[in-house]
Structure 1
Amino acid sequence: MQFSPVRTAIIAIVALLGVLFAIPSFLPQDVRDAWPSFLPKQTVVLGLDLQGGSHLLLQVNEDGIVTERLQTLRRDVRNTLANQNGIGNLITTDEATQSLTIELTDPTQKAAASTAIAALQNTISNSLISVGGVNELAFGETSDGKLTVTLTPEGVTERTSALVAQSIEVIRKRIDELGTTEPSIQRQGTNRVLVQVPGFGDSQRLKDIISRTARLTFHMVYPGMSAAQAQAQGLPAGTMILPSQDGGEELLYEDVALGGESLVDAQPSYDQQRAMPVVSFRFDTRGAITFGQITSANVGQRFAIVLDDTVITAPQIQQPITGGTGQISGSFTTATANDLAVLLRAGALPASLDVVEERTVDASLGADSIQNGLTAGIVASVLVVAFMVIAYGLFGVFANISLILNIVLIFGALSMLGATLTLPGIAGIVLTIGVAVDANVL
């Protein structure tokens, strides 16, 4: 059989490229560093079962989703009735039934109130091809004439599903900030996320980075009354009490003056004056304008920075801040300041995540798996090569050369694509040896 020069050249070029891409995976790091820059340096990425790493199974806290949604809905109802329509009301939250009960100070305004809160209806759909979606709210009335707003089961399910999808994207951004390669982030069921990070052995740090909500908000501190006084006398309307990092409590306005979604950058830095690590942040254009307006209108007032429902700091506004930048100071170490900056850059999780399962695969176990896999591959290759030479003579030698090139091309493709090699992958390569040799003989 004669091959045309063009076909021979193509085969030679493909074989050469396969060898060039495959070689770096079998060389030590110092040799790869000295490798000429024009040659490929990519290596096969080893999976969790081969190089060790961290495995986390996370579950979205559905109770937390319901609680937070009811809190938001309560503020929306109060704002719609009292602020926009001048309808006095008293709202009671029942998390057991996932509902709000609204008692009007003037029952004759019931029709107007019903119309006003009906406008809060929200339709949720997670499908790109579905039409309509499901209603999140159900409206009703109690036997004694009070209005009710209830979260529908279908709405809660759809919201949970949407938040899981958003959480996966945030988790991916956070892990990418850690500089790891080939993390596996998969959705499991309706409310779980599986995270596997090969080569990252600090599972506790990974858990802290992934599961922390990192919801950053800015609130004005309520003037003229402490948290202790508010607890004794009753909370003023539209306020809340949150714990502070120093062990105390702060009385804040519920309304978020500015949210962490307006941040475009966050970096760990060092405050020379106070000799402590801090996190410097920068707002986008819209956030910078809002920040400047807030600080200009509230000079002399205290402005609280809240992270995950804990007041990190509540400094007094000394002068308008129009540059759109600021600092978060607290009891940070260099490591915790860096981790917080990572979280803020990646964005807040839309829902809190609970760790259901946590495993760390030791690197020594991965080394054993690699050794066993290599042994199996070498034994299989030697047996196949020997059998082919004995059974087919010179043609067996040709088949063996083709077999070796086939394996080289597999590793070259894995290296070029940055694909992950797992223990089942090694088994697949061993199986390929038998399949490929049959093809070469035929």
Structure 2
Amino acid sequence: MVSNFRVAGAWKRFAWLAVIFGVLIGGNAWSVWLEGGSWTPKLALDLQGGTQIILAPQLAEGQTVTEEQLNQAVAIIRQRVDAGGVAEAEVTTQGGANIVVAIPGTPDPATLERIRSSAKLEFRPVLQTTFVAEEAPAEGPASFNPYDEPLPERIPESASDLAWITPAIDRAYNELSCEQLDGLGSNVADPERPLVICSSDGFSKFVLGPVEVGGETIQDAISGLVPGPQGTVTTEWGVFLEFDEAGTEGFRSVTQRLVGLDGVQNQFAIVLDGRVISAPRTLAAITDGRPQISGSFTQESAETLADQLKFGALPIGFEVQSAETITATLGLSQLQSGLLAGAIGLVLVVVYSLFQYRVLGFVTVFSLTTAFALTYLLITYLSNSQGYRLSLAGVAGLIVAIGITADSFIVLFERIRDELRDGRVVGSAISAAWKRAFRTIVASDAVSFLAAAVLFILAVGNVRGFAFTLGLTTIVDLIIVALFTHPLMQVLGRTRFFGEGHPLSGLDPKALGAVYRGRAKFRDPVDVAPVARKKSAQEAKRRQTIAERKAAEEASALEGKKK
């Protein structure tokens, strides 16, 4: 009955493993048929090549870019690219002014927008606005710059004070087109001065007061559907913000002031990269620091903006100076060399397993094959759904995983052999060995996974690719050992070949040495070489308890006195 129960449990584990394979195969098939995916993983920049984008800073007259600003911009762009699902990208500086972004494959427009958009977010009060019906094409750049004019003679009482509208600002508002206003550098405007600006769709023109809340005070940003008046879910996408303590206090004081104003002065403009994306009315003071941005967003544009705001605005604006295709730095020949090295290592593991464990070594072969199939499907699924790309460093992580996986099998096999030496039958030995071996395997894999996680968090570039595949294959190792290797051993233990300890099975009790009978008593092995007999005696002595060892010493001393 116990044996039948064990076999039934083994088949249940096989069923769970089949479910995992089914989910991965189904997910990949869905990506291939409906989303243009592939049954092979995408390759990274070092193996496939891609696109190199050079970003040049947008600077106002007399402004210079500092090394600190460049380093900050590199960190933010790298976070944006990673959040967009682009793996193995490289972001570096060039010439002390430009930023070079190398992306595997051909980037889509959304990825380009993530990279070059500064995501400079400002909240400014509206002083004046009008609808732009049909704007005539601009005839060259603006003939004057209203921001060169001095500040108002009367010091405005607040950012909503109409005294900010100087004659130069009013002239720009009435005479300049949206294109000309953009040419004046709306994205690099002084936050302490008023601003003449257009909406993102070009249909409205605004005069805005100085910045009252900056995007640098945003603590978190997520995209989602905007709830309706009664709490119902609408189809309109928006971005939900969460400010830090300073931003919350600033937003509270501003909205409390705007609630008491009439007309357009009641509006609060949300300015992103030199354009007004929304100018809602202030119906109530927002005191919790959690406003929402709504407008003509799609799901993709809302997610992009949320990622940009979450990781912070770039300290300066950038424009794409050039975008060109680059060739692979290593190429397929290095990939083939890496795969060849992995194949050689795999063959050596198989040869050693067959030599050491006889037919039992084929369990290692089947387990490694299953682990490879599961890892391949996982990487392909991540490539299709999350944009993961396999680099040469990632291939190295997969090769290292062969040793980690084989080590788990060896631990299990040796535990089974130890139980056979204790006098257990094969079925009982497999069950008892599994309880002890699994704890050892989990501890070993936990150390490997922790090392991979730390390396992934602290490293950048290709090193993260190595850490990722190492951590992934460590998880796969646990799945294969628990859902394939162990149940396979339970099923094989029921067969006559393994259950009766055939000499070629690798589980022959006679070939393994003395058999433990309890209380440090051993049956002498039959037809065993003298070396094995000596090992059996050593094993008997090693397995004695303290009481048994003292009793043996007393008996030896007593026998010596008699002599």
**TM-score, length of structure 2 as denominator length:** 0.40
Structure 2 CA distance for aligned equivalents of residues 326 and 58 of structure 1: 35
Q: 2:250 matched to which residue of 1?
A: 290
C-alpha distance 317-375 of structure 1, shift in aligned 2 (>3 A) = closer
Aligned to 1:3: none
Q: Is residue 2:119 matched to residue 1:214?
A: yes
Query: Matched residues in 2 for 1:256 and 1:308: separation?
Result: 13
Q: CA deviation at 1:207?
A: 1.6
In 1: Cα distance, 2:267 partner to 2:112 partner: 34
Q: Tell whether the 8 Å contact from 1:186 to 1:194 is kept in structure 2 after alignment.
A: yes
**Are residue 354 (structure 1) and residue 319 (structure 2) matched?**
yes
CA RMSD of aligned residues (A): 4.4
- Name the amino acid aligned to 1:277: W
Structure 1 contact 227–241 (Cα < 8 Å) conserved: no
User: Partner residue of 1:141?
Assistant: none
In 2, Cα distance between the equivalents of 1:260 and 1:232?
25
Tell me how far 1:161 sits from its aligned partner.
3.2
Q: Could you tell me how far 1:283 is from its partner in structure 2?
A: 0.8
Residue 171 (structure 2) aligns with: 234
2:462 to 417, 420, 423: 420
Contact conserved, 1:49 with 1:361, CA < 8 A, in 2? no
Report the AA paired with residue 60 of structure 1: A
- Aligned pair in 2 of structure 1 residues 342, 242: CA closer, same or farther (>3 Å)? same
Match of 2:224 among 263, 269, 283: 269
**Cα separation, 2, equivalents of 1:232 and 1:258:** 22
Number of matched residues?
A: 266
Shift of 1:313: 0.9
- Aligned equivalents of 2:203, 2:303: Cα separation in 1: 25
Give the match for residue 48 of structure 1: 45
Distance in structure 2 (CA, Å) of the matches to 1:268 and 1:378:
43
Q: How has the CA–CA distance of structure 1 residues 234 and 409 changed in structure 2, closer, same or farther, with 3 Å as cutoff? A: closer
Q: Distance in 1 between matches of 2:321 and 2:293?
A: 31
Q: Does structure 1 retain, via aligned residues, the 8 Å contact 2:88–2:462?
A: yes
Distance 2:212 2:311 in 1: 21
Contact 1:56–1:207 (Cα < 8 Å) also in 2: no
SS at match of 1:245: coil
- Counterpart amino acid of residue 273 in structure 2: D
Cα 1:46–1:322 shift into 2, 3 Å: same
Q: State which of 95, 101, 108 in structure 2 corresponds to 1:195.
A: 101
Q: 2:71 aligns with which of 147, 155, 165?
A: 165
Residue identity in the other structure for 1:293: S
**Following the alignment from structure 1 to structure 2, what is the Cα–Cα distance between the partners of residues 339 and 238?**
29
Q: Which whole-Å deviations, capped at 9, do the CAs of 1:353-392 have from their partners, x for residues lacking one?
A: 23234346799x99854665458869999xxxxxxxxxxx
The answer for the alignment partner of 1:243 in structure 2 is: 198
Aligned to 1:429: none
Q: Corresponding residue for 1:119?
A: none
* 1:77 paired residue number: none
Is the alpha carbon distance of 1:295 and 1:30 closer, same or farther for their aligned partners in structure 2, counting shifts above 3 Å? Answer: same
Q: Is the 8 A contact 1:312 1:330 kept in 2?
A: yes
Higher-RCO chain (CA-CA 8 Å, sequence separation at least 6): 1
- 1:227 and 1:219, CA in 2 relative to 1: closer, same or farther beyond 3 A? farther
Distance 1:373 1:316, change over 3 A: same
Give 1:255's aligned residue. 210
SS class of match (1:275) = strand
- After TM superposition, list the pairs within 5 Å mapping 1:328-343 onto structure 2: 328-343=293-308
Instruction: Give the corresponding residue for 2:53.
Output: 57
C-alpha distance in structure 1 between counterparts of 2:127 and 2:212, whole Å: 13
Asked if the contact 1:242–1:250 (Cα under 8 Å) also holds between the matched residues in 2, the reply is yes
1:215·1:260 contact (CA, 8 Å) conserved in 2?
yes
Is contact 1:55–1:194 with CA below 8 Å preserved after alignment? no
With normalisation by structure 1, the TM-score equals: 0.50
- Structure 2 alignment gaps of length 5 or more: 1-19, 26-40, 133-164, 174-191, 229-233, 346-394, 403-447, 464-563
Q: CA deviation at 1:174?
A: 1.3
After superposition, the C-alpha distances for 1:172-193 in whole angstroms (9 at most, x for unaligned) are: 2212323444432222221122
What is the aligned partner in structure 2 of residue 324 from structure 1? 289
Quote the Cα distance in structure 2 between the aligned partners of 1:45 and 1:331.
34
The answer to whether the 8 Å contact 1:58/1:353 transfers is no
Structure 2 CA distance for aligned equivalents of residues 320 and 239 of structure 1: 23
- SS of the residue corresponding to residue 350 of structure 1 reads coil
How far apart are residue 205 of structure 1 and its match? Answer: 2.8
CA distance in 2, matches of 1:245, 1:46: 37
- Structure 1 regions of 5+ residues with no counterpart? 1-28, 35-43, 68-94, 99-150, 382-406, 422-442
Correspondence list, 1:15-164, <5 A: 47-50=44-47, 52=48, 54-61=50-57, 64-65=58-59, 67=60, 95=61, 98=62, 156=64, 159-164=65-70
Tell me the distance in 2 between the aligned counterparts of 1:166 and 1:175: 14
The alpha carbon displacement at 1:212 in A equals: 0.7
Q: What amino acid sits opposite 1:314 in the alignment?
A: A
1:411-431: per-residue Cα shift (whole Å, max 9, x none)?
A: 42999566838xxxxxxxxxx
Question: Which is richer in strand?
Answer: 1
- Quick one: distance in 2 between partners of 1:278 and 1:312? 11
Identity of aligned residues (%): 28
The alignment partner of 1:325 has SS state of coil
* C-alpha contact 1:221 1:250 (8 A) present in aligned 2: no
